C-alpha cells in the first residue's frame, strides 16, 4: 500500500476525465484557430468546455478565460488590475499563496502600488474590521484574499469580504484553487471581480486552469502574441487540458455532496486517531474545526523530536505521501510563511494531510499507524 495524502498539492486524474481527453490527444488534432473542419471541431470542444465551466459557477461564457493554471490566472488578475486600472493601493493577507504574494510584492517593490497586509489572529482568522478601515482610508484598492488556505485549511468568508469591497468600490480577486470543485461557487451571489480555478486540484489534468473575470472589468493581457481567448490570453489553447478541466469540474460539482461526506469522514478519522496515538498533537489554524476549514485539509502540529527534520522523508520511506513544514527554515526544507505568520513554535514539525474522494479508511489507518510508529519511540 502507498497512502497518498498530498491532494492539496495535486489530485489523481479521474479515469473518466482521461477518457474525455483522449480523443483530443489523438484524432482531433486541428488547431482551434484554423477555419477548416478539423480546426472548427476542436474550437467547438473548447467553447463547449467554456459553457460548462460558466454554467457551473453561474457566469457568462465570455467571462471565462482558460489559462495554464492557477498561478497564471492569479498573476493576470493582479498585474492586469493594478497596471491597467491604475490602482495605487493593494490589500492582501500574509497567509496567501505565493502566487498572490509574490506578484503583489513585485509591484510594490517597483513602486506601482502600495501594499497593505490584513491583520489576523493566531488561528489565522482575518480581521475584516481592519479591511473596512484600510478601504475607508486609502484610494480605490485592489483586494486579494483566498477562499480556502492551502496550508492550514482556514475558510474565509468571501461573500462578506466581497460586500465590504463593494461598499468601497474596490476590485476584489479571490483565489479559489483549493475550494473549486469542493464547494459551490455562484458568482452572482458574490461581489468578486476575479475568481481562479486549477484543474489538477479537482481530479483534472495539470497545466490548465481558468480565470473568471466579471463582465465590464477590462484589463490588459498578461501574455501577448495572438488573438486567442478573445484577445485576453495569447497562445494556442491546451485543448485536451481544457476538455479535461470542464469534465473534471462537472463530475466534482455533480458528486460534491457525497464527496464531502466521504472526505470529512476521513478527516474526522485522522483527528481522532492522531489524538489517541500521539501525546501532545495539535492542529494548526482552524484545521480541526469542521465548519471553519477545508474538509480536504488537516494541518497537524507534532511535538518536537529528534526525527522532526526527517519526518516527511521517513513517511515517504514508509509509503505515506504528505507535505508539511515548520515556522522556520531548516537544513531540510524552507520554512512555511503561513506558520511563521501565525507565530507557530518553530520546533514543532507540521504534517499536512490532504484527502480526496479516492482515499479510503484503510489508508487513513495505515498512515496513522506509520506516523505513530515513526514518532512515538523518539518521544520516550
d(CA 66, CA 211): 6
Enumerate the domain spans of the chain: 3-11+255-374, 15-254
Average pLDDT, stretch 147-175?
A: 97
| Options 83, 165, 253, 328, the catalytic residue | 328
Is beta strand 89-92 parallel, antiparallel or unpaired with respect to 323-325?
unpaired
Q: Is 83 a catalytic residue?
A: no
Question: Residues 6 or more apart from 255 whose CB is under 8 A from it?
Answer: 357
pLDDT digits (tens, 9 = 90+) for 230-254: 888 999 999 999 999 999 999 999 9
Q: Give the pLDDT confidence score for residue 376 in this predicted structure.
A: 67
pLDDT digits (tens, 9 = 90+) for 72-128: 999 999 999 999 998 999 999 999 999 999 999 999 999 999 999 999 999 999 999
Q: Give the pLDDT confidence score for residue 327 in this predicted structure.
A: 46
Closest CA relative to residue 209, chosen from 185, 236, 241: 241
Choice between 327 and 258, residue whose per-residue pLDDT is larger: 258
Chain-wide mean pLDDT for the chain? 93
Query: What is the DSSP secondary structure assignment for residue 9, as one 8-state letter?
Result: T
Q: Give the pLDDT confidence score for residue 330 in this predicted structure.
A: 41
Q: How confident is the model at residue 306 (pLDDT cuts 50, 70, 90)?
A: low
Do 147 and 174 touch, CB atoms closer than 8 A? yes
| Right CATH for 15-254 from 3.40.640.10, 3.40.1260.10, 2.102.10.10, 3.40.50.300 | 3.40.640.10
Phi (first) and psi of residue 371, to 5 degrees? -65, -45
Q: Give the pLDDT confidence score for residue 307 in this predicted structure.
A: 72
Average pLDDT, stretch 27-31?
A: 92
Query: pTM to 2 decimals?
Result: 0.94
Q: Give the pLDDT confidence score for residue 23 in this predicted structure.
A: 97
Average pLDDT, stretch 316-345?
A: 78
Q: How confident is the model at residue 285 (pLDDT cuts 50, 70, 90)?
A: very high
Phi (first) and psi of residue 53, to 5 degrees? -60, -45
Count other C-beta atoms under 10 Å from residue 19's C-beta.
11
Annotation: CATH topology of 3-11+255-374: 3.90.1150
Phi (first) and psi of residue 334, to 5 degrees? -75, 150
pLDDT greater than 90 at residue 179: yes
For the chain, give the percent of residues with pLDDT over 90: 83
pLDDT greater than 90 at residue 362: yes
DSSP 3-state of 271: helix
Amino acid at each position: 500500500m502507498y497512502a497518498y495524502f498530498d491532494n492539496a498539492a495535486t489530485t489523481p486524474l479521474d479515469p473518466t476525465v482521461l477518457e474525455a481527453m483522449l480523443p483530443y490527444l489523438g484524432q482531433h488534432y486541428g488547431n482551434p484557430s484554423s477555419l477548416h473542419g478539423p480546426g472548427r471541431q476542436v474550437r467547438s470542444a473548447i467553447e463547449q468546455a467554456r459553457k460548462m465551466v460558466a454554467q457551473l459557477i453561474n457566469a457568462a461564457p465570455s467571462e471565462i478565460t482558460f489559462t495554464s493554471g492557477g498561478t497564471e490566472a492569479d498573476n493576470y488578475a493582479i498585474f492586469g488590475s493594478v497596471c491597467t486600472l491604475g490602482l495605487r493601493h493593494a490589500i492582501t493577507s500574509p497567509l496567501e499563496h505565493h502566487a498572490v504574494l509574490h506578484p503583489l510584492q513585485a509591484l510594490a517593490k517597483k513602486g506601482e502600488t502600495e501594499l497593505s497586509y490584513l491583520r489576523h489572529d493566531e488561528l489565522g482568522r482575518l480581521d475584516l474590521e481592519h479591511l473596512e478601515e484600510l478601504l475607508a482610508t486609502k484610494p480605490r484598492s485592489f483586494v486579494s484574499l483566498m477562499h480556502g488556505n492551502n496550508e492550514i485549511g482556514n475558510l474565509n468568508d468571501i461573500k462578506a469580504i466581497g460586500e465590504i469591497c463593494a461598499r468601497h468600490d474596490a476590485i476584489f480577486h479571490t483565489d479559489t484553487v483549493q475550494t473549486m470543485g469542493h464547494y459551490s461557487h455562484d458568482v452572482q451571489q458574490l461581489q468578486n471581480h476575479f475568481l481562479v480555478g486549477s484543474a489538477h486540484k479537482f481530479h483534472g489534468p495539470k497545466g490548465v486552469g481558468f480565470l473568471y473575470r466579471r463582465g465590464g472589468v477590462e484589463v490588459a493581457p498578461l501574455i501577448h502574441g495572438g488573438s486567442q481567448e478573445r484577445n485576453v490570453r495569447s497562445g494556442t489553447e491546451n485543448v485536451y487540458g481544457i476538455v479535461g478541466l470542464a469534465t473534471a469540474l462537472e463530475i466534482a460539482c455533480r458528486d460534491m455532496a457525497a464527496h464531502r461526506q466521504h472526505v470529512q469522514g476521513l478527516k474526522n478519522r485522522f483527528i481522532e486517531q492522531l489524538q489517541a496515538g500521539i501525546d501532545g498533537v495539535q492542529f494548526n489554524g482552524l484545521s480541526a474545526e469542521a465548519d471553519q476549514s477545508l474538509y480536504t485539509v488537516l494541518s497537524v502540529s507534532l511535538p518536537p523530536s529528534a526525527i522532526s527534520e526527517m519526518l516527511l522523508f521517513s513517511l515517504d520511506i514508509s509509503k505515506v505521501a504528505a507535505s508539511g513544514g515548520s515556522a522556520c527554515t531548516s537544513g531540510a526544507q524552507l520554512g512555511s510563511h503561513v506558520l511563521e505568520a501565525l507565530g507557530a513554535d518553530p520546533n514543532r514539525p507540521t504534517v499536512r494531510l490532504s484527502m480526496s474522494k479516492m482515499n479510503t479508511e484503510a489508508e487513513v489507518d495505515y498512515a496513522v499507524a506509520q506516523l505513530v510508529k515513526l514518532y512515538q519511540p523518539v518521544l520516550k
